[in-house]
Structure 1
Amino acid sequence: MVTTPATATRKLRTADADVQSNSAVPEARRVVPVKWWAGLGAVILAFITYVLIDWATGPFFERVPTGPTDPPTYMKVAMVFFQAASIPVGLGLIGWFVVRPLIRQHRLTLDGMLVLAFSTLWFQDPLSAYGGHWFTYNSWAINYGAWVHSVPGWLSNGKPGAMLVEPILIMPGLYVYVFVITMFLGCWAMRRAKAKWPQMGTVGLIGVCFVAMVGFDIILEGVIFMPLGIWEYPGGRGPAIFSGTYHAFPLNEVVTVSATFTAVACLRYFRNDRGQTLVERGAERLRLSDRAQTVVRALAVFAGVHVALFMTYNVPNYWIGIHSKEWQRDLLDRSYFTDGLCGQGTDRACPGPGVPLSRNDNTDSGKGSAYITPDGKAVIPPNTNLPAQYPFRSNP
C-alpha cells in the first residue's frame, strides 16, 4: 500500500491519540492519598463518637474514689490548678488557630487542622493499657472512670468505681497545649539544624527533632507532672529517673512519647512544593468545592495525627502493659494512685512478672478470667465457668 502524506498524517494523529489515551488511564487510576487518609479519619471519628457515647450512657461512667489515703496538699493544689486552667487554655488555642483564621481569612489553615486533631487525642490517652495496667492517674482529680471498657475487646481489669481513671478536666486541654508546644518546638529545632548544617538530610533532621523532644518530655513529665502526682508509670520498663519513688520516670515513656511528638512535628515540617503534608497529597486533584476540599484535608490531617500517636505510643506501650514490672512500694501505699484496681483494699494482686494477665468481662463485673489475690490465692469470679476437663481417650 502506498503511503500518501494524508495517510501518514492520519496515522500520526491516531498514534498521538493512542499515546494520550494510554497516558490518561494511569492518571485517572492514580491513587489520591488524601482520599484514603480522609476516609480513615472519618472512621476514627465515628469510632471515638461511638465509644464516648457508650461510656457516658453506661455503668462505667462512675467516679473512682481516692480510698483511705489523702493526697498531700501540694498535689491537691497542682490538680486544682491544672483542672481550672487546662480546658480554658485548650479552648483559647482553638480560638487562635481555628476560629480567628476562619473569621479573618475565611479559611482553615494547616495549623488549625492540627489543633483540631490535637483536641481529640485525649481519647487515645488510656489505650496502651488495653492488655494490662502499667500507668495510673491520681483519683483525687474529678473523674468518671474512663471510656476504656467501651472499647471492643478491652482486657484489663476494672469495674464501675474501681477502674482506670482519666482526669476529665485536665487531659483534653493538656493534649492541645502540649502538642502545640511540641509542634512548634520540633519545627524550630529542624529549621535551626538545617540552617546550621545545610547538607543535613531528612533522617538527620528527624534525629535532631527527637533529641529536642526527649529533653522537653523529661522536663514536662519527669520534672513537672509526675512529681506533682498527676499521673505515674509504675509498670514502666527500662532504666528510670527517680527510680524507687512514686514518680519513677521509665525509659519506655521517654522514648515513645518523644517519638510521638517527633512524628507530629515532622508531619507539619515536611511538605511538598504545594505546601501539602504527607496526608494531604493529591488534594488538588479532587473535583470538589474549596470548602469540601478543606473538610477532606482536615479529616486526612486528623487521621495522620491519630495514626502517629497510635503507632508510636500505644502500640509499643501495649507490650509494656502486658509485661509490667512490679509496682514500687512508694506508689502502692497511696490508694489515690491504685484507683481500686489492685493491692491493699482489693482482692487483686498488682501487676508484675509473677502475676498472670487477666481478661475482664466488660458487660458483667461478676465474670472474667480467674485472677490472683495479693496473698497469692486464686479467685474465680462467681459468674465465670472454667473450661470442662475431659480424660484422655484410651487406645482401642
Structure 2
Amino acid sequence: MEKSIAASRGALASDISGSDGAAVVRTWAIIGAAFVVFILYVVFEWVTAPYFGPTQLAEGVEVPLNFKIGVWTVQIGMSLVWAYLIWTQIIKPIRQTGQPNTAGLLGIAFFVAIFWDPSMNWIQQGCVYNPYALNLGFLSGEIPGWMSPRGNLLPEPLLAWAGGYPGFLLWMTFGGLAVMRFVKARFPTISNVKLSLCGVFAAMVVDLVLESLLIRYSGIYAYPGSIRALSLWGGHWYQFPLYEALLFGGWVGCTSVLLYFKDDKGHTWVERGVEKMAFCKNSNFRQSMVRLVAIIGFCQVLEIIIYVLPMPLITANADPFPEDTPAFFTVGTGMCGPGTGLACPRPDLPIIRRNDLEKFSDTVQIAHEPVGEAVVR
C-alpha cells in the first residue's frame, strides 16, 4: 500500500514537471522560437522593402565635431566590449566545457532585443538617433500595428547597438548580480524576494548612469519626447526620463536575478532540465541551441511586458520636444521638423498615424507647422 502511494506521488510529481523533467526549458524554447520566427519575418519584410537603406543626414544640417567623435567612440568602444564578452563568455567556455556560459547566451538574447529598441515610438516619436552613426534606417514600419509615421527613417545606430546592446545590457546585468552577491554576504538571512529587488534596483541605477552619460556626451541618441516633470534635466535635449530607467532597467535587472539563482549544474531556471531532453542528449551543440532559444524567449517576454507595452503609452503623453533639440535629430533625419512636412509631436497637435500622412497631407498640423512654435508651457 505504501509503495503504491509513493509510486502515485512520484507519477504526480513527474506529471507536473514534465515526464522527462524538461517541461520548463521546452516551454521557454518554444516561446523563444516563435519570437525568432516573427522577428525574422519582420526583418525579411524590411530588407526587401523599396525604402530599405541608410537614413542620410539631410543637406545643410551639421553634426558638431564633439558628437562625431562621441558617435565613433561608442561604435568602436561598444564593439570591443562585446568582442571581449564573446571571448570570455562564449568562446572560452565552449573550449573548456563544450557549452557557452549563460551570460554569453544572454548577450545574444540582448542582441535580439535590438528589435524592440525604439518601441517607445510606437504611437508617436519620443526617442531620436543621430543619422551620422552608421545605420540602415530601421524596421519599425514593418512591425504589425506600428502607428507613428516614418518609422523606417529612424537611423537606428546598428553598428553601435550590435555591440552596445549585448555589452551595455550585460553591464547592467553584472551590476545587479554584483549587488545581490554583496547584499547576500552582508545580510545572509535576507529573503530571496528582497535580494532580488536589490538586484533589479541596482540594474536601474546602472542604466540611469550609463544612459545619461551616453546621451549627454556622445550625442548618439536622445529622448526629446519625454514627460519633463518625470525627467532629469527636463526641458533640455539631453533630458533623461526616469521611467526609462525604471522600465528598461527593470526588465534587464530581472536577468540579474535569473543569473544569481542557478542549480548544481550551473543552469538558470529557464535552462533547467535541458540535458534530459531526448533531442539534446549527447550533444553539447543542441543543448546550447535550446538553452539560447529558451533564454531569448524569457528575455522577449520580460521586455514586452515590462517595457514595450507601457512605454509607448507614456510617450503618447509627452511634452513638446525641447527648443534646444539639435536639428540633426529631427530635420537631419527627415522624420519631423521644418521642411519635412511633419511637425514633431506636441500635446497641442493630434497624434498622427502613419496612414494619416497621405489622407490629410493638406492640413496645417502635418504639412506646414514649424517645430518650436506654439510650444505648450
TM-score by length of 2: 0.85
What amino acid maps onto 1:336 in structure 2?
A: F
Paired residues, what number?
359
| Kept in 2: contact 1:186–1:262 (CA 8 A) | yes
Distance 1:93 1:229 in 2: 25
**Aligned counterpart, 2:195:** 205
- In 2, the alpha carbon distance for the partners of 1:348 and 1:36 equals 45
Distance in 1 between residues matched to 2:51 and 2:314, nearest whole Å = 25
2:168 is equivalent to residue 178 of structure 1: yes
> Aligned partner of 1:127: which letter?
S
Of 243-252 and 210-219, more deviation after overlay is shown by 210-219
Kindly indicate whether residue 329 of structure 2 is the aligned counterpart of residue 329 of structure 1.
no
Match among 258, 274, 287 for residue 249 of structure 2: 258
Match of 1:385 in 2: none
Structure 1 segments unaligned to the other structure (5+ residues)? 1-11, 378-396
| Closer/same/farther in 2, CA of residues 236 and 159 from structure 1, 3 Å limit | closer
- The CA deviation at 1:274 is 5.3
Matched, 1:314 2:308: yes
Specify whether residues 203 and 54 from structure 1 end up closer, same or farther in structure 2 by C-alpha distance, changes over 3 A only: same
In 1, Cα distance between equivalents of 2:311 and 2:336 = 20
Q: Pairwise mapping of residues 112-261 of structure 1 onto structure 2 (< 5 A)? A: 112-158=104-150, 163-237=153-227, 238-261=229-252
* Alignment map for 1:290-301 (pairs within 5 Å): 290-291=282-283, 292-301=286-295
Equivalent in the alignment of 2:278: 287
Instruction: Judge which range, 223-232 or 364-373, deviates more.
Output: 364-373
* Structure 1 residues 261 and 25: alpha-carbon distance in aligned structure 2, compared to 1, 3 A threshold: closer
* Paired AA for residue 122 in structure 2: Y
Say if 1:280 and 1:301, in contact at 8 Å, map to a contact too.
yes
User: Do the aligned partners of 2:79 and 2:162 also contact (CA within 8 Å) in 1?
Assistant: yes
CA RMSD in angstroms comes to 2.7
Q: CA deviation at 1:57?
A: 1.9
Tell me, in whole angstroms, the C-alpha distance in 1 between the residues paired with 2:278 and 2:207: 43
Please say if residues 148 and 154 of structure 1, whose CA atoms lie closer than 8 Å, have aligned partners that are also in contact.
yes
Please identify which structure carries the higher helix content.
2
How far apart, CA to CA, are the structure 1 residues paired with 2:233 and 2:369? 29
Determine whether 1:72 maps to 2:86: no
SS in 2 for 1:302: helix
**Partner SS state of residue 348, structure 1:** coil
Contact preservation (8 Å) 2:139, 2:151: no
Q: Decide which moves more: 170-179 or 334-343.
A: 334-343
> How many Å separate the matches in 2 of 1:340 and 1:153?
22
Q: Secondary structure at the match of 1:215?
A: helix
Q: Which piece of structure 1 moves more, 30-39 or 171-180?
A: 30-39
The alignment partner of 2:302 has SS state of: helix
Q: Which runs of 5+ in 2 are unaligned?
A: 371-377
Q: Which residue of 1 aligns with 2:374?
A: none
Matches of 1:141 and 1:337, distance apart in 2: 14
CA deviation profile, 1:294-337 (whole Å, cap 9, x unmatched): 33222111211222222222222121232222111111x51334
Per-residue deviation, 1:231: 0.6
Instruction: Work out whether 1:87 is the aligned partner of 2:79.
Output: yes
1:18 to 1:195, Cα distance in 2 relative to 1, 3 A: closer
Deviates more, 1:40-49 or 1:55-64: 55-64
1:27 aligned residue: 14
Q: Which letter does structure 1 place at the counterpart of 2:107?
A: V
Amino acid aligned to 1:49: L
